[in-house]
């Protein structure tokens, strides 16, 4: 693990010439909040593009519709193709299409996430977003549905209920029912604090006393997303790819699992104290390069 600011000019050029394709996280790397870009992030991206680096954005955020995300990038003069913005809803839809999936889906996700799947032609179970009554009979009727569900998909759902998780568990008793997870962050930063992430629910369903099923994870840091990226971008030389992110687990460890080089920026989820603690415990899986922010790359070029 090296700090970018400590590299001499020769070492910076050596690093810069070691990759051709860049996968970049969004929140905490490009964006400092829902609307505002981090200073210098757009300039850094455009410098890399001008110098021939291919760039795609890989985010776990499916809360915002793709069109609005692309519009945000356009407003800060980053122009990218829609297929170069990779998010869990897109990865899951691509995966289902590759299987020629045709069936009913019980989906845990944001309105934008669900709308994306529906726009891609998939059918979702309706009427699962409310509360059930206080009687055991109403609870039983809600859990033991007669719907023939062929896939359970879990991503971010702010109003997730216990009865809906129970219903998912019942559907997953069927070995033919797919179990797919989107974003799998163990923790999610919000308002200056870390809260439980989506992977808590996926892990819960993986346990022996629940469904005895393991989800296919198609968001960071899942191996399913790794396979999609390798195929989608026809990556032949993994060591010529750089993954940039602000999370040690969702970004750096994911990049390492993929065989990519990794750069951690300290403008988001990870602070210096977190990095020091992580380095002491996981030195072999730490980032290759640490930068104060993405704008440091401007000095590289």
Token readout for 119 is: 């726009």
Quick one: pLDDT band at residue 191, thresholds 50, 70, 90?
A: low
Taking 50 as the threshold, does the pLDDT of residue 206 lie above it?
no
Quick one: pLDDT band at residue 299, thresholds 50, 70, 90?
A: low
pLDDT at 97: 97
pLDDT at 99: 96
119 is annotated as an active-site residue: no
Phi-psi category of residue 77: left, alpha or beta, with phi > 0 → left and psi -120 to 50 → alpha: left
> For the chain, which domains are there?
2-60+221-297 (3.40.50.1000), 89-217 (3.40.50.1000)
Taking 80 as the threshold, does the pLDDT of residue 204 lie above it?
no
Taking 50 as the threshold, does the pLDDT of residue 228 lie above it?
yes
List, in sequence order, every residue forming a beta bridge with 3; answer none if it has no partner.
Answer: 290
pLDDT at 254: 95
Per-residue DSSP letters for 51-83? TT-EEEEE-S--SS-HHHHHHHHHHTT----GG
| Mean pLDDT over the full length of the chain | 88
Q: pLDDT exceeding 70 applies to what percent of the chain?
A: 88
CA distance 154 to 95: 14
State phi, psi for 33 to the nearest 5 degrees: -155, -165
Least confident among 16-25, 64-73, 134-143, 256-265: 134-143
Q: What is the mean pLDDT of residues 91-100?
A: 96
Least confident among 41-45, 122-126, 219-223, 275-279: 275-279
Least confident among 117-131, 158-172, 209-223: 209-223
Cβ-in-10-Å burial (0-12, 13-18, 19+) of 67 comes to: exposed
Quick one: pLDDT band at residue 39, thresholds 50, 70, 90?
A: very high
Taking 60 as the threshold, does the pLDDT of residue 255 lie above it?
yes
pLDDT digits (tens, 9 = 90+) for 117-153: 999 999 999 988 777 777 888 888 888 988 999 999 9
Quick one: pLDDT band at residue 193, thresholds 50, 70, 90?
A: low
Contact 200, 131 (CB under 8 A): no
Give binding residues as ranges: 25, 27, 220, 246
Give binding residues for substrate as ranges: 220
20, 27, 209, 251: the active-site residue: 27
194 is annotated as an active-site residue: no
């Amino acid at each position: 693990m090296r700090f970018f600011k400590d590299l001499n000019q020769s070492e910076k050029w050596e690093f810069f010439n070691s990759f051709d394709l860049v996968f970049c996280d969004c929140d905490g790397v490009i964006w400092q909040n829902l609307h505002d870009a981090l200073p210098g992030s757009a300039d850094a991206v455009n410098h890399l593009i001008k110098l021939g680096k291919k760039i795609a954005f890989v985010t776990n955020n499916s809360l915002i519709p793709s069109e609005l995300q692309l519009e945000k990038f356009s407003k800060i003069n980053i122009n990218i193709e829609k297929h170069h913005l990779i998010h869990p809803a897109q990865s899951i839809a691509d995966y289902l299409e590759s299987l020629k999936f045709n069936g009913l889906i019980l989906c845990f996700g944001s309105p934008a996430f669900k709308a994306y799947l529906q726009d891609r032609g998939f059918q979702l179970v309706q009427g699962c977003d409310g509360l059930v009554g206080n009687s055991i009979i109403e609870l039983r009727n809600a859990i033991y549905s007669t719907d023939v569900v062929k896939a359970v998909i879990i991503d971010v759902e702010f109003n997730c209920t216990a009865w809906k998780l129970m219903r998912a568990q019942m559907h997953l008793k069927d070995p033919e029912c797919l179990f797919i997870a989107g974003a799998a962050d163990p923790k999610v930063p919000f308002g200056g604090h870390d809260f439980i992430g989506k992977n808590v629910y996926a892990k819960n369903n993986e346990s022996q006393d629940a469904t005895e099923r393991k989800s296919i994870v198609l968001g960071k840091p899942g191996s399913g997303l790794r396979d999609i990226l390798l195929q989608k971008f026809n990556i032949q030389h993994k060591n010529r790819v750089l993954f940039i992110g602000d999370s040690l687990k969702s970004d750096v460890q994911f990049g390492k699992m993929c065989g990519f080089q990794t750069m951690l920026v300290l403008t988001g989820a990870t602070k210096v104290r977190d990095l020091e603690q992580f380095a002491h415990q996981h030195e072999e899986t730490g980032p290759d390069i640490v930068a104060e922010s993405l704008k440091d790359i401007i000095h590289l070029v």
